[in-house]
Amino acid sequence: MKENPETGALAPFNFNQILDEVPELRKFGFNLDTISFNPLVDSSDITPEFWVRLADLIHENYQKYNGFVVLHGTDTMSYSASALSFMLENLSKPVVFTGSQLPIGKLRTDGKENLISAIEIAAATSNGQPLVPEVTIFFENQLFRGNRTTKYNAEHFNAFRSDNYPVLAQAGISINYNFAYIYYPTHRYELVVHKHFNTSVAILTLFPGITPAAVDSVLSTPGVKAVILHTFGSGNGPSSSWFVNRIKEAVNSGILVFNVSQCKAGGVDMDKYDNGLLLKKAGVVSGIDITLEAAVVKLMFILGQDMEFNDLQAKVQESISGEISC
């Protein structure tokens, strides 16, 4: 982002200007090419169509480069990183998302350090093999698995957390990699890009005193195929018969109900409490320790594959690219 001189608000800047803003990039001892979207995209305007364009760009240039860095707004970065992690099957090169909390033109911007380190990580190899061949987010000296992240802070430089999965690398004087938690493919296959998303997804966030009308407004959304049930604690909801019956009716009508905890750390265990067990018996599927961002994208991705309902329920509980602990 750069400040718009006419409005004073922040707007995307042309990535072709990056060498002017970060001249340190010229010191890297390798070729660095840039591709900028036209028109430029604010991260709040991200759609699945953008993810397809981004995946296609990586696919088209896959053989030309050792790694890829995506400069992306922070607001929806976790969604986009999750999407790319699902779309890029057989990925064996780094795709590192990064951005900044302060715009690149500001004196105290965090964008320069984030970008420089992200590029270094994307280019890092050992014995000719990339050190982090998966979709990640680098921010404020930490490298995360992209589909495990949540933006939790709008004010500080450490904008992202990965509460349910360890950091993949820590950047200080040197970059220390947590190799035990990085995914390394055991076989090399051709990169396959999956492009079909179905956005017929809704979120039902529970709160004390929620009314039947509020629940019905979500479960009765025209065309909805999957609902994230954003539950309390380890996957609990009200035990009221009206609530449980509505959930059961939704499942019986062919709506996939996916249980995701409102807690950022930990996950869903519907066998732990009676209230959670009621949801399980009603046909609700556990999201285990998935983030809300990854859950939204995963449902869109799986619905886009036109599976039978029983297959959808099974598939959503499988790890596609390390987004849940199985």
pLDDT tens digits, one per residue of 185-216: 988 899 999 999 999 999 999 999 999 999 99
Residue that has been written with the tokens 């779309």 in this structure: 87
Pair 159, 74: CB distance under 8 Å: yes
State the angle between helix axes of 212-219 and 241-252 in degrees (0 to 180), rounded to the nearest 10.
Answer: 10
Q: Which amino acid is at 215?
A: V
Q: Give yes or no for residue 82 having a pLDDT over 80.
A: yes
In order of their start, the domains of the chain are 2-193 (3.40.50.1170), 201-315 (3.40.50.40)
Q: Calculate the average pLDDT of the chain.
A: 92
Q: In this structure, are residues 98 and 119 in contact, taking their beta carbons and an 8 Å threshold? A: no
Amino acid at residue number 214: A
Give residue 114's pLDDT: 87
- 160, pLDDT greater than 60: yes
Q: pLDDT confidence of 28, banded at 50, 70, 90?
A: confident
The residue among 148, 159, 63 whose CA lies nearest residue 110 is: 159
Q: Measured between alpha carbons, how far is 198 from 307 in angstroms, rounded to an integer?
A: 12
Q: Give CA separation, 104 vs 31, 109, 269, 320, in Å.
A: 22, 6, 43, 34
The pLDDT assigned to 3 comes to 65
pLDDT at 298: 98
The pLDDT of residue 97 is above 70 = yes
